Structure 1
Amino acid sequence: MGMETDARWTADQVLALAPDDSSRKAGARLATPAPWTGTGTAGAAVWGQCRGSGSRPYQTAVDLSGPAFRCTCPSRKFPCKHALGLLLLWAGGDSGPVGAAAAPDWVEQWTAARREKAAQRGAEPPARAAAGPADPEAARRRADRRAVRVEGGAAELEQRLTDLLRGGLAGADRAGYQPWDEIAARMVDAQAPGLAARVREVGAVVATGGDWPSRMLEETALLHLLARGFLGREGLPGPLADTVRTRVGFTVDAAELLAGPTVRGQWLVLSQHDSADDRLTTRRIWLHDEEADRFALLLSFGAAGRAPELVLPVGTVMDAELAYHPAALPLRAALGPRHGVQAPSRVPAGTTVGTALAAYGSALADDPWLDAFPVLLSPVVPLPGADRWQLADDGSRDAVPVAATGSAQSLWRLAAVSGGHPLTVFGELGPTGIRPLTAWAGGSPEPVAL
């Protein structure tokens, strides 16, 4: 592994790793010396033994360079409450209960096994790492068969949308969600999960109330554009064709991406947040390389009820290599080798609201289906309103509405962090406004997750 951290994390950074609120609270209760024995830290490892309900204490260890977690408790959560409690103890500082020590055998064995695995991955030839099926011809035939199925699904979707428009969008509320659910199921059968997801989103527009017919018209138009784009993909420029394929649901294996060109930079972890449905938990981690002024989105997935494995503390800076997925607007990336982690030295530089909106407009020209565009705004002030909150430029009249997708608790926390003073805010800008995710106040480089 060979990677050490330059500074201890803050409590907020530790708690941001928690898979859910109950784990966050349980970990905080364990952040006292009483249940712990044999704690210590050396290099990138932190360890300790926590007294539990069993006869033997739970052995808990964290590899900060991952971060990666090991605990002998039976919990299926990742990280578990013991790992969170241990990290909170460690975050208390060098003079706290988790000080420098020689690692015990069980920690040495675990870290040595991780080093060995990392060395094996590094020694694997790129061609082998990116290798596909043993029979390239069979793989090509499968890809061709899937493309034909997706084309059939896109053509069927076009017919369904035509029937919908013939009947009138204003009456779509009487039919309920079932027709959309049926169309989404047909897109899944056609191996087009991206189309299925957008169909479900269109079907849910009616439930949002207000001027839903206008929003449904916008969403069905984008859905039509995506279906037509895939059917006519041979005539599209290469990057736009890649974007269409991605939006329809075709993916590129991370190993294949990392076997090609990578981009190395000093990546600040801007935010980490999860969303879940009945099938999957999706973790979105945004990174920013300030020197090159580029963003990257890492996606990690976990089965229903389980947190994804990739966890990166918000506010840390990684020296790492990434490989972007092919697209007209490269944002999503695969995480490659990491060479170091350090604490941020200053608040990230932001732009004005006007500049961010102009950049979002240009991004939509490259990817009309973009629903989350990363922006760093500074200096801005949160302004509560009767109907919508806003983030307003300090000293100008430019403002952007806050999207309804954020929680009221997050908004009031943003207002409390601000205290009426300007902030730097990172968020996802979409068709209905911005979703604030992280804030920096008072010139402190330590972020506040919203």
Structure 2
Amino acid sequence: MLLSHGGEPSRTAAPVARWTVEQVLALTPDESSRKAGGKLGSAGPWSGAGCDGSGAVWGLCKGSGSKPYRTVVDTTGPAYKCSCPSRKFPCKHALGLLLLWASDEAVLGPAEVPDWAREWLDGRRGRAAAKAAAGGSAAAPADPEAARRRAERRAGRITGGAEELEQRLMDLVRGGLAAADQSGYGLWEETAARMVDAQAPGLAGRVRELEAIPASGPGWPARLLQECALLHLLDTAWLGIDRLPDPLAATVRTRVGLTSPADGLPVRDRWLVLAQYDTPDGRIVTRRIWLLGKDSGRTALLLSFGAAGRSPGQALPVGVTLDAELTPYQGGGQLRAELGAQFGTPVPSGTPPRGSTTAAAAAAYGRALRDDPWLESWPATLREVIPVPSGDGWQLADATGGTALPVVPSALSRPGLWKLVALSGGAPVTVFGECGHRGFDPLAAWADGSDGGAAETVPLI
């Protein structure tokens, strides 16, 4: 929902610009949805399709039954409604409708909103306006004292789990790392289950990461020792959390799995949507959305979660700019934020971020480790880099002859790497991604970013 400064729906904003096909595809929950939506991205299956200046897109899609599926999208959310039984968001019909809207203005043009679509649109926007008018704040706990006692009991359980984990790490080191290879996955699964019982999901997740290291190829003992050292550091940080500075203590709480509210000062800016991708983690799917404030230069991360096989609800098309407020969380460099009130309508951005050198990106990651020693990576935009082969992999080299960053192994099998190579064609490009100890993970790119000119955002994941 897009709101005006007074908290009411914006009625005077400029018409919502059509998205590009790349921006639509960035919303797909999985590869099968991408293929199914692509088949519905032509005019053939659709009737009664149209759009209006407020961001609504609707249409009737012919299916296997006698009645067509009613599909409507509010692109200012974005939010989706379809009469099909799919549990994916967006479903293939919503994706097909958006692809048609993005690619063929002659077929899907301005029209009067039908009653069946208007009912959902008015209801959605009315609820959002009412929530904004009420301040959008949750009710205070009914019994603060009871909440404090529950927090103390959970902290006690986490402390017990951390102490047990310390003992298991000591036993592993005393017995030699070869024991980890011989015991297989059972040792780590049992330990992770104990951390779940201790209500420390962050510790459980890091323990599960250890189980795959012995099978990761040559050099695994050194990698296992490094990860055990980081886990030991997190354990001891929790056990001595009362002696830590407040920002680091907030980071430790987050790392062991305690949630904290977004209670920083809201930051209003024109936020460029840099990247969006999903990561499955057992029964949960985590969606990460990276934003960059055009005025503040601040980078922010939006996190949302969904059950396995179900895409998280929050989604933003890559490459658009939205005027909005973000409220940061505590700890971890305060990158994570919560999306608040939005003002006006999202518009496609034709200007890539300025970026920095590969050396500066690596240095920024090093500085971020001082605030969060368990940090896997740090967001960075590289300017004037060229993707070039390097041994069995690829690297992003400074066009000016400086340093280079290796591309992370996980990106080598993704189609996005070849999109980046094709976009560059041997010429410098601007690339946004995550820089960490494994290398650089490219997430978005611009072909014309070095001179500040217009350029389309190309998602790479």
TM-score (norm 1): 0.95
Q: Deviations over 1:98-138 (max 9, x none)?
A: 11111111121111101211122112246xx2334311111
What secondary structure sits across from 1:7 in the alignment?
Answer: coil
- Identify which of 240, 249, 263 aligns with 1:232: 240
Amino acid of the structure 2 residue aligned with 1:350: G
Per-residue deviation at 1:273?
Answer: 0.8
- 1:30-429 map, 5 Å: 30-42=40-52, 43-92=54-103, 94=105, 96-125=106-135, 129-253=137-261, 257=262, 261-340=265-344, 341-408=346-413, 409-429=415-435
- Identify which of 425, 434, 441 aligns with 2:440: 434
- Alpha-carbon RMSD across the aligned residues, in angstroms, is 1.5
**Contact 1:14–1:84 (CA under 8 A) maintained in structure 2:** yes
**What is the rounded CA distance, in whole Å, between the counterparts of 1:40 and 1:395 in structure 2?**
49
**Contact 1:50–1:58 (CA under 8 A) maintained in structure 2:** yes
**What is the rounded CA distance, in whole Å, between the counterparts of 1:226 and 1:277 in structure 2?**
21
What's the counterpart of residue 11 of structure 1?
21
Amino acid of the structure 1 residue aligned with 2:411: G
What's the counterpart of residue 22 of structure 1?
32
Alignment gaps of 5+ in structure 2: 2-8
Per-residue deviation at 1:387?
Answer: 2.5
**Contact 1:8–1:93 (CA under 8 A) maintained in structure 2:** no
TM-score (norm 2): 0.93
Q: How many residues align?
A: 443
**What is the rounded CA distance, in whole Å, between the counterparts of 2:220 and 2:300 in structure 1?**
32
Q: Deviations over 1:3-44 (max 9, x none)?
A: 565421100110111111111111111111121111111111
**Contact 2:16–2:55 (CA under 8 A) maintained in structure 1:** no
Per-residue deviation at 1:291?
Answer: 2.1
**Contact 1:281–1:304 (CA under 8 A) maintained in structure 2:** yes
What secondary structure sits across from 2:411 in the alignment?
Answer: coil
**Contact 2:393–2:412 (CA under 8 A) maintained in structure 1:** no
**Higher deviation after alignment, 280-289 or 165-174:** 165-174
**What is the rounded CA distance, in whole Å, between the counterparts of 2:441 and 2:214 in structure 1?**
22
- The percentage of counterpart residues that share the same residue type is 57
What's the counterpart of residue 5 of structure 2?
none
Alignment gaps of 5+ in structure 1: none
Q: Deviations over 1:136-174 (max 9, x none)?
A: 111110000000000111111111111111112244211
Q: 1:132 and 1:195, CA in 2 relative to 1: closer, same or farther beyond 3 A?
A: farther
Per-residue deviation at 1:61?
Answer: 0.6
What secondary structure sits across from 1:91 in the alignment?
Answer: helix
**Contact 1:233–1:241 (CA under 8 A) maintained in structure 2:** yes
**Contact 1:376–1:426 (CA under 8 A) maintained in structure 2:** yes
**What is the rounded CA distance, in whole Å, between the counterparts of 2:18 and 2:272 in structure 1?**
16
**What is the rounded CA distance, in whole Å, between the counterparts of 1:373 and 1:364 in structure 2?**
9
Say whether residues 1:449 and 2:453 are aligned partners. Answer: no
**Contact 1:6–1:343 (CA under 8 A) maintained in structure 2:** no
**What is the rounded CA distance, in whole Å, between the counterparts of 1:325 and 1:210 in structure 2?**
39
